[in-house]
Amino acid sequence: MRIDKWLWHARFFKTRTLAAAIVSAGHVRINSVKASKPAQGIAPGDVLTFMQGDHVRVVRVLAHGVRRGPATEAQTLYEDMTPAREDVPSVPQPQDGGRPTKRDRRIFDLDRRRMLE
């Protein structure tokens, strides 16, 4: 199966054209060898390494896809070998008390008017 078609079937990229562009640009490796063209074939057992968003994905191909189905079906096509990211921040905490209240905003507006006078 073509690598661009498999990446699209496995739902790593939204369109097949985008998957082909990533492969053509040389951003995908098959078994640590740079993929040269989108029509390059892959087989079950191959390990793919590519950038998705801002982090590197490493996946092992388990099967070929017959169609681009739902996400649960797509997840059966690969085994995710990407190392866990430790630098992922938790829920962002508001600084300085978060958004100003209505009362705080009124005080701020009054102070700003006084500075302009």
Beta partners for 48?
30, 59
**pLDDT score of 30:** 96
What would you report as the CA-atom Rg of the chain, rounded to the nearest whole angstrom?
A: 24
In angstroms, rounded to a whole number, what is the distance separating the alpha carbons of residues 55 and 43?
A: 24
Question: Which pair of tokens denotes residue 106?
Answer: 């009124």
Residues of the chain with pLDDT under 50: none
Question: What is the CB neighbour count within 10 angstroms for residue 29?
Answer: 15
